[in-house]
Amino acid sequence: MTITVAIDAMGGDVGLKVTVPASVRFLQDTPDVNLILVGDSAGIEAELAAQPASVRARITVQHTTQVVGMDEAPQLALKNKKDSSMRVAINLVKDGQAQAAVSAGNTGALMATAKFVLKTIPGIDRPAIAKMMPGTGGETCVLDLGANVDCSPEQLLQFGIMGAELAASLQHKQNPTVGLLNIGSEDIKGTDNIKRAAELLRESGLNFYGNVEGNDIFKATVDVVVCDGFTGNVALKASEGLAHMIATFLREEFARTWWTKLCALAALPVLKHFKARVDPRRYNGASFLGLRGIVVKSHGGTDALGFRIALEQACEEVRANVIGHITDRVASQLQNLKRPESEA
Amino acid sequence: MTITVAIDAMGGDVGLKVTVPASVRFLQDTPDVNLILVGDSAGIEAELAAQPASVRARITVQHTTQVVGMDEAPQLALKNKKDSSMRVAINLVKDGQAQAAVSAGNTGALMATAKFVLKTIPGIDRPAIAKMMPGTGGETCVLDLGANVDCSPEQLLQFGIMGAELAASLQHKQNPTVGLLNIGSEDIKGTDNIKRAAELLRESGLNFYGNVEGNDIFKATVDVVVCDGFTGNVALKASEGLAHMIATFLREEFARTWWTKLCALAALPVLKHFKARVDPRRYNGASFLGLRGIVVKSHGGTDALGFRIALEQACEEVRANVIGHITDRVASQLQNLKRPESEA
């Protein structure tokens, strides 16, 4: 099966100079994918001219006249930017011309547009943002990372189902374990919402591990960590902030004197290897789950390598039929919930 | 002024073998403080015998017969452990025999006991847990870190007041800046509670900066970050988990081959300096704020160095009269809130 991915070529802090080279490099490594680059066609063609021509035949350019600003209000973008590269890329998924859309643009606008154009899967109240996070014991899928500030217990259950299907697909895990983010492992911990969500998850048929705490994310205690979007977003950004602080301190220590600089030189191969291992670009690509189409959000500030990783993730989701699996699982879950009523 | 600090000598994962040496070492460096070591007197005396005798005269031993378990339910500890080292240490603060209590014991039990024995300051609904966190631009006081899972806007305002007084005292900051933890800087972000809290903080007379995000904690964008205890606890533990992961990866990379081990040897002085800079023991000591007495919680797993830092923090709070300042500030805040009513 040949996969077609629509790319919001204008999205991100840099735009074309990242998205186009990344697209070309990605196609060179991935034979079964075609790309539609959506955006200003003259700009895209100019960027393509600078790239090796070998994969040009597998790229279609779709011209659009508008760009959604990185700080634009989502509702305004939705209303006024109907010919934006972001909107048209998602339209292509809706129309079946592409199986996935990838954008490094404005997260809020991308979510609002994706929700409006693609709609949610039956049984899913609202989409969630999910991301794989590194850990000492492997990777963990965490959701929601910011799409929903308030979450009902039912929504947290839906996140569990969606996260489990994503982990099963991307990590090839059989029956992945699902944990509920809380402030202690005991059942009495947390808000009423969290306690009720734990009950729903326990009864759901998912491989529910129970409560997990913030540090479990980076230990890969479970395959999937479920949380509301407020908590998830704060945890993600606090972690990014801490990683940045540690990197800064490490750099400062090695740059302190000529002697420490010599030490850095000696340790360079090891430090490089370490840096590659914790490189955030390797974990770029957040999945918008719960929609009737695949949308992957790349970090706005990433480079061509990071954007390629997001492209790969989108294709993995297509190959694994994540949306089909989520749809089936939610449908059977709804069936189970209905059964007791009809028996009553 | 001589300060007396009551120490829960039995608390923590290790207990006496950490608390007693830490106490002795602390007294050696701190002339104006006396300590009351609360716990099993035979055990304490045995530990003291192993320590240099120079400071023995400034230590009183108060015998108790019970110990609160690290996993014991707070309400059970409160009910059944009236002669525990933890309870008696807090009683000493209540009775004015000590100006602060320090414990490395069970956080929930310590909070429940402190609240029950000491009561909250008038105008403070519930105490909060506050901690200084390191950052690229200095330190940030973050609260609440887990005492309150649900917080009203009024409580978040109280946290702002308490955090500002703690930062002013410990960091000697004039009019410290206060940020509200959110998932974006714009006013429209976050839950209704958060939006209302932002309004209250803006009108409060505090030096309110506005919304901050998770990464701002480790950038020291503001002096104080206010959040509910659920979010704060998750952010703190996620950060601890990430720091542990990074340390593990760094160690693994340097231990990979004989060549990388040589690199590590060459870089050792720099790595040691770096490690000291991010040493969690340096940031040990969480303040229970909002009580009518000073209680500092040490990490349960810390060593004598970490416990000493917690002791130093408790003394700093006494010297700076943090409780007096919080009491005055809250009283004047309440006065301001009442004024419009009386005018109406």
In chain A, what are the domain boundaries?
1-124+290-344, 125-283
CA distance A235 to A231: 6
A342 contacts chain B (CB < 8 A): no
Q: Find the CB nearest A269 among B136, B244, B263.
A: B263
Q: What is the per-residue pLDDT across B100-133, written as a single tens digit (0 to 9) for each?
A: 999 999 999 999 999 999 999 999 999 999 999 9
Q: Measured between beta carbons, which residues in chain A are less than 8 angstroms from residue B135? A: 241, 245
Q: Is the Cβ pair B136, A248 closer than 8 Å?
A: yes
CA distance A104 to A70: 9
User: Would you give per-residue pLDDT tens digits along chain A (344 residues)?
Assistant: 799 999 999 999 999 999 999 999 999 999 999 999 999 999 999 999 988 888 999 999 999 999 999 989 999 999 999 999 999 999 999 999 999 999 999 999 999 999 999 999 999 999 999 999 999 989 999 999 999 998 999 999 999 999 999 999 888 888 999 999 999 888 888 899 999 999 999 999 999 999 999 999 999 999 999 999 999 999 999 999 999 999 899 889 888 888 888 888 888 888 888 888 888 888 899 999 999 999 999 999 999 999 999 999 999 999 999 999 999 999 988 777 665 544 43
Portion of chain B with pLDDT greater than 70, in percent: 98
Task: Please compute Rg for chain A using Cα positions.
Answer: 21
Q: Measured between beta carbons, which residues in chain A are less than 8 angstroms from residue B213? A: 233-234, 237
CB distance B119 to B125 below 8 Å: no
CATH number of this structure's domain A125-283: 3.40.718.10
CA distance B222 to A241: 14
Say what the pLDDT of residue A338 is.
63
CB distance A120 to A127 below 8 Å: yes
Nearest CA in chain A to B151: A191
B336: pLDDT strictly greater than 60 = yes
The phi-psi region of residue B317 (left if phi > 0; otherwise alpha if psi is between -120 and 50; otherwise beta) is alpha
Q: What is the per-residue pLDDT across B4-42, written as a single tens digit (0 to 9) for each?
A: 999 999 999 999 999 999 999 999 999 999 999 999 999
Q: Find the CB nearest B242 among A146, A239, A264.
A: A239
Say what the pLDDT of residue B280 is.
85
Q: Is the Cβ pair A135, B237 closer than 8 Å?
A: no
Report the top-level CATH class of B1-121+290-344.
alpha beta
Say what the pLDDT of residue A278 is.
84
Question: What is the fold of B125-287?
Answer: Isopropylmalate Dehydrogenase (3.40.718)
B342: pLDDT strictly greater than 50 = no
Report the top-level CATH class of A1-124+290-344.
alpha beta
How far A239 CA lies from chain B's nearest CA (Å)? 5
How far A116 CA lies from chain B's nearest CA (Å)? 20
CA distance B33 to B313: 13
Portion of chain B with pLDDT greater than 90, in percent: 79
H or E element: which one contains B28? helix B16-29
Using DSSP, state whether A156 is helix, strand or coil: helix
And the tokens for B251? Answer: 């160690």
B328 contacts chain A (CB < 8 A): no
CA distance B38 to A184: 28
Say what the pLDDT of residue B339 is.
58
And the tokens for A21? Answer: 């080279």
Nearest CA in chain A to B71: A186
Q: What is the per-residue pLDDT across B99-109, written as a single tens digit (0 to 9) for each?
A: 999 999 999 99
Q: Measured between beta carbons, which residues in chain A are less than 8 angstroms from residue B260? A: 269-270
Say what the pLDDT of residue A110 is.
96
Q: What is the per-residue pLDDT across B49-85, written as a single tens digit (0 to 9) for each?
A: 988 888 999 999 999 999 999 989 999 999 999 999 9
And the tokens for A216? Answer: 């479990």
And the tokens for A282? Answer: 């390797």
**B127 phi/psi in degrees, rounded to 5:** -70, 165
And the tokens for A199? Answer: 């009950």
CA distance B301 to B319: 27
Q: Please state the ipTM of this predicted complex.
A: 0.90
A251 contacts chain B (CB < 8 A): no
How far A60 CA lies from chain B's nearest CA (Å)? 36
CA distance B157 to B224: 12
Contacts with B, A 261-300, CB within 8 Å? 263-264, 266-267, 269-271, 273-274, 277-278
Q: Measured between beta carbons, which residues in chain A are less than 8 angstroms from residue B267? A: 254, 263-264, 266-267, 270
A253 contacts chain B (CB < 8 A): yes
The torsion of the CA quartet A217, A218, A220, A225, rounded to 10 degrees, works out to: 10
